[in-house]
Amino acid sequence: MSLPQIHTNRGISKPLWKPSDSNVYSVASTKDLAFKETSIPRETNWEKELKHLWRSHIPQKCKFFIWTMVHQKLNTMDNIQKRNPNMCLNPNWCISCRSSNEDMNHLFILCPTAHRLWNLWSSETGIPMANTNVKDLCLSLCRLTGGNAKNIISFNAAIATLWTIWIRRNNLIFEEKDSSYQNAWEDICTLMGSWSSKSKILKNYNQATLALNINAFCNLPM
């Protein structure tokens, strides 16, 4: 008894990814498959707005910082206490004003130091600061990215304000180093100038020129 002859395909073997029309694996097709198999909503409105954040010229660490704030996962005193209910944080006040408990809304918006910095930001950019909620603030800032000089500078200055408040807070806690809000504002302007000079619209201006002329650039014709 003889065995039947086996005909083999002499071509190169390669895997096929069925979820994709092209049979080639892609992250997008995997995402589509995951959403088909679950009841997870495809994309929320704030996730769409965060796309502008990822496309901006601010450093990756600052992008992740803002993303963490939107998800309300930043290591402020209230969040640390929630994750460690058996730990007694004493004191759990804001290290800057020492008059209120520290949460994100207080630290970044309501604290007197933060309030002074936002007043300076509003005065220079001409944009009123009306938010009292950090998540809403971050999402509203993401709508400013791109388009014209005012949007770019206002967005970068605002992100620099949030970042500087956080760095100042950490320096106070871990190194006992304090700085005035005037010095903090100088740091904000420096960061804004560095980030804004990387954009196509403002690439012909150096960091110092942008840092010293926020109001003038925010009033350029659209």
97 and 149 belong to one structural domain: yes
pLDDT 10s digits, 160-181: 999 999 999 999 999 999 889 8
157 and 67 belong to one structural domain: yes
Query: Would you say 29 and 20 are in contact if contact means Cβ atoms under 8 Å apart?
Result: yes
* DSSP state, residue 110: I
pTM: 0.79
107 and 206 belong to one structural domain: yes
Answer with the residue of higher pLDDT: 30 or 38.
Answer: 30
172 and 193 belong to one structural domain: yes
Burial class (CB in 10 A: 0-12, 13-18, 19+), 81: middle
Answer with the residue of higher pLDDT: 7 or 125.
Answer: 125
Is 1 a member of any domain?
no
Q: What residue numbers bound the domain in which 24 lies?
A: 15-44
What's the pLDDT at 11? 60
25 and 119 belong to one structural domain: no
Confidence of residue 4 (pLDDT cuts 50, 70, 90): low
34 and 63 belong to one structural domain: no
Residue 71 has pLDDT above 70, yes or no: yes
Confidence of residue 86 (pLDDT cuts 50, 70, 90): confident
Query: Would you say 53 and 145 are in contact if contact means Cβ atoms under 8 Å apart?
Result: yes
How many distinct helices (H) and strands (E) make up the chain? 11, 0
- Helix or strand or coil: residue 93? strand
Mean pLDDT of the chain: 87
Query: Would you say 109 and 118 are in contact if contact means Cβ atoms under 8 Å apart?
Result: yes
86 and 148 belong to one structural domain: yes
Is 195 a member of any domain?
yes
Residue 40 has pLDDT above 50, yes or no: no
Confidence of residue 18 (pLDDT cuts 50, 70, 90): confident
29 and 125 belong to one structural domain: no
Is 105 a member of any domain?
yes
161 and 69 belong to one structural domain: yes
Secondary structure (DSSP) of 133-151: SHHHHHHHHHTTSSSSHHH
Confidence of residue 87 (pLDDT cuts 50, 70, 90): confident
**Domain tally for the chain?**
2
Highest mean pLDDT among 45-49, 89-93, 134-138: 134-138
Is 144 a member of any domain?
yes
Residue 43 has pLDDT above 70, yes or no: no
141 and 200 belong to one structural domain: yes
Is 4 a member of any domain?
no
Is 6 a member of any domain?
no
In single-letter form, the type of residue at position 70 comes to V
Is 197 a member of any domain?
yes
Q: Which residues pair with 93 in a beta bridge?
A: 101
Assigned token pair, 26: 């892609």
Is 181 a member of any domain?
yes
34 and 62 belong to one structural domain: no
